[in-house]
Amino acid sequence: MLYKILADIIVVIHFAWILFMLVGFTLTLVGFWWRRFFDWWLFRALHLCGIAYVGLLAVLSRYCHLTILENTLRAGYDSELRYPGSFIIHYIEKLVYPDVNPLIILIPTVIIAVFTAVVFIIKPPTKIRRMLKWR
């Protein structure tokens, strides 16, 4: 039962990661035209690293490490349980693992990664821009 609970927690974390990537992209879009709105350097740096990682996994056709961990944990609990998942996890899993052609996920992911990197280079956060001027 512990494996099932841990796997469900991983699904929630995975969903939060996806939300972080999508919210970060939305804020990057808004911040491209309105710098003061989105000048949080740490958030932007973490989002850039995260989306670059996600884009790289997508291009290399690799599974996310959260997916691998969840699958490993799910294999560790009894598959004979009457209710193999909770109500909420059931629906979150449908959002995290949609049943669509992989290109529908791959192409937007790569576009978002490239756009985020370009915006970070063109309009870096003020703190990072100041650090680069000192060198």
Global pTM? 0.73
**End-to-end CA, the chain:** 55
Any idea of the CA torsion for 93, 12, 103, 58, to the nearest 10 degrees?
-140
- Per-residue pLDDT reduced to its tens digit, 30-77: 877 776 667 778 888 899 999 999 889 888 888 888 888 888 888 887
List Cα–Cα distances, 49 to 34, 38, 76, 117, in angstroms: 22, 17, 31, 9
pLDDT (tens digit per residue) in 102-111? 888 889 989 9
Tokens matching residue 2:
């512990």
